[in-house]
Amino acid sequence: MTGFPRTGSGDRAFHDGLIVIDALQASNWDRELLEELREGGATAVHVTLAFWEDARAALGNIGRWHRLFEDHGDLVMPARTADDIEEAKRAGKTGIIFGFQNASPIEDDLALVQIFHELGVRIMQLTYNNQSLIGAGCYETADAGVSRFGREAIREMNRVGMAIDMSHSAELTTLQAIEISERPIAITHANPLSFHKGLRNKSDRVLGALADSGGMLGFSTYPFHIGGSGISLDAFCGMIADTAEFMGVDRIGLGTDMCRKLSSGYLDWMRSGRWSKRIDSGEAGTAGGGWPDWPAWFRSPADLPNITRGLLDKGFAEGDVAKIMGGNWLGFFRDGFAPR
């Protein structure tokens, strides 16, 4: 937490009493990073098991998490239900929610939705940045909306209890997913376009439809979603206050998009998968190459208490801070993860 004052002990005690849920982190997990989750008081984290992976590769990533649970069961546990998250809180552990940032693991096989649900996958983006078999990603120039297979996949995700995440999807595809889905959907990690014009951020039209349908937005701290690492905690919390005004304080939470210990080679995988020989820097634009710097007040999950303090300083009531820091996600997951 270089150059940023520590959260005072009073605020920290308040933070430690909360259910704290981060609806997206995509780190290269090891014991040190799992300890950061505990240090930050994270009750549950939605982790990423696929960007471009097919079914078999996704199984491999699930297998790696099984090893982490076996080897570091004192720090983390699987979270497949809202009850599991509450159990993690009681046990002083961090509940890990499995998710995919793309529909690539289900390939063209509808049956894989239930199969991955049985393996604990509870959140899936219908697209990453590109066109998927289901819809358009936010970097595509054209957006034809949700495909035939996409409609089937949404129905099946609704049936088994796998939450739909449109964080990286294009606008029409997102609006259609909200409409087609019989359950509320999520944008786990993005910010309002009105706050920062970034390719990944969302229009008022999308956020309004999301809120109206009972969906959730998770605020991202990823530098390209907030206008750079120089942004102040006060400005970040100001964005949250404005969005609470627009969407309602029950429809928002955190999805920091924190990426720790990922190599630049892995960044290339995230950006270009195996579908391109060129490096596509995407939202990084000419900044290009490596990982961006994180804001001074959120350099790792250990800094989660800073956001609690920032929200209190911004004037949010304690009850609303509790909702934003995790209570809202808990309710969304309780409804969203159970089979119909």
Among 64, 182, 319, 338, binds a copy of itself (CB under 8 A): 64
Tell me the two tokens of residue 109: 């096989």
Closest CA to 220 of 210, 229, 211: 229
With CB under 8 A as the rule, give the number of residues binding a copy of itself: 19
In the bound complex, what is the minimum distance in angstroms from residue 80's beta carbon to a copy of itself?
A: 10
Burial readout 7-17 (b: 16 or more C-beta within 10 A, e: otherwise):
beeebeebbee
Nearer to a copy of itself, 112 or 186 (CB): 112
Contact map string, positions 28 to 57, toward a copy of itself, x by CB under 8 A: --------------------------xxx-
Window 114 to 133, contacts with a copy of itself (CB under 8 A) = 114-115, 118-120
Maximum separation of any 2 CA atoms in the chain, in Å: 54
Q: What are phi and psi of 99, to 5 degrees?
A: -150, 160
For 322, the enclosing helix (H) or strand (E) is helix 318-322
- Under rule CB under 8 A, residue 108 binds a copy of itself: no
* Angstrom distance (rounded) from CA 170 to CA 279: 21
Of 4, 39, 59, 196, the one binding a copy of itself by CB under 8 A: 59
Neighbours of 214 (CB within 10 A): 17
Query: What helix, strand, coil percent values describe the chain, rounded to 5?
Result: 45, 10, 45
Cα-trace Rg, the chain: 18
User: Is residue 242 close enough to count as binding a copy of itself by CB under 8 A?
Assistant: no
- Contact between 161 and a copy of itself by CB under 8 A: the answer reads no
Binding segment toward a copy of itself, per CB under 8 A, in 28-36, 60-68, 185-193, 264-272:
60-68
Output the smallest distance, CB 114 to a copy of itself, in A.
5
Interface with a copy of itself, residue 81, by CB under 8 A? no
Q: CB-wise, 115 or 199, nearer to a copy of itself?
A: 115
For the segment 245-284, give every residue that binds a copy of itself (CB under 8 A): none
The position carrying tokens 């290339």 is 268
Q: How far apart are CA 171 and CA 169, in angstroms?
A: 7
**CA–CA gap between residue 253 and residue 307 (Å, rounded):** 11
Among 108, 111, 142, 340, binds a copy of itself (CB under 8 A): 111
Minimum Å gap between C-beta 201 and a copy of itself is 36
* Least distance from a copy of itself to the Cβ atom of residue 57, Å: 10
Rounded CA-CA distance 36/284 in Å is: 26
Burial-class residue 296 by CB neighbours within 10 Å (0-12, 13-18, 19+).
middle
Which CB sits closer to a copy of itself, 16 or 109? 109
Give min distance, CB of 94 to a copy of itself, in A: 20
Residue 108 CB, nearest approach to a copy of itself (Å): 11
User: Which stretches of the chain bind a copy of itself, using CB under 8 A?
Assistant: 54-56, 59-60, 62-64, 66-67, 109-112, 114-115, 118-120
